[in-house]
Amino acid sequence: MIPVREFMPLKRKPLRLLDQVRYVLQAKRYSPRTEDAYTGWIRRFVLFHGKRHPALMGNAEVAQYLSYLAVNRKVAPSTQNQALSAILFLYRYVLDVEIGWIDDVVRATRPKRIPLILTAKEVRHLLSFLSGRPWLMATILYGGGLRVMECCRLRVKDVDLELGQITIRQGKGGKDRITVLPQSVMPHLRRQLEYVRQVWQGDFRDGVSVTLPYALDRKYKNVGHEWGWAYLFPSKRTIVSKKTGAVLRHHIHVSVLQRAVRKASIAAKLPKPATPHTFRHSFATDLLMAGYDIRTVQELMGHARVETTMIYLHVLNIGGLGVKSPADYL
């Protein structure tokens, strides 16, 4: 006779708080970077209050921690807001506790910032100090207004050479959009695709798949081995999945392009501290200077609000702020 205990369900250990947070974040399809940021802030919030469980704390403790970030740590407003978002996510979706209006919070001051831009001449000069893959990625950033991570995550299927366009998948806010593919990079892009095909053929032969979003590998078998899903800028090294043990190839790390642009900026002796994101700002300003409608620029940039795009009008000193200096009348 089989013992009754063999039919009893196994008792699982309850998940730790941060594991619960990761589980809910993944269930709601937050990006891995947001997952790491939120769990980091929640961990620091708990440590700040002597490892007390958040369920035993409330508005007062949250306000105290946020004020500490602004007064003692002197963090930027965006950093303080990210910490607040992480803590609110914890209470609302993990602990099922609604946190009301938080009073007595010292807010980090938000100064008005103007984005750094490069003129077309400066962009051309900076690009001349880049070569190979960094040059191609930087030119795509400037030619299409992509964010750095959006460029790193591009796959073969997202680039349409015939239509001359790039499809951005799961951009900021989880939104898709279409932007411009510069014609000047076509020959270089074809050579890059030939290199990617060689890497893909070797991976296909060795059983190496590419990393996929969400659970596509379970829903569609062997989709990770398809040509269209290969990364346009693959990493030179493979990784081993901690969950499945499968050998995977990820996209290039953002630091590769960041270091290359930094070195090129120093070598070019530019007075402006250019970064890969500067190419995106320069893309928007150059389009507006060329006379394109601000709504068109907003759509290409992927901005949720037109007010975000309008800041480039202030940079150019056109539109409502178009003022001619009185010294020019002398």
CATH code that applies to domain 17-94 = 1.10.150.130
What are the domain boundaries of the chain? 17-94, 120-313
Question: What's 212's DSSP letter?
Answer: -
Into which CATH architecture does domain 120-313 fall? Orthogonal Bundle (1.10)
Instruction: Give the tens place of pLDDT for each residue, 142-163.
Output: 999 999 999 999 999 999 999 9
Share of the chain above pLDDT 90, in %: 59
Just list the catalytic residues: 147, 172, 277, 280, 303, 312
pLDDT tens-place string over residues 70-102: 888 888 888 988 999 999 999 999 998 887 666
For 251-277, give the DSSP string.
EPPHHHHHHHHHHHHHHHT-SS---HH
Cβ atoms within 10 Å, residue 224: 19
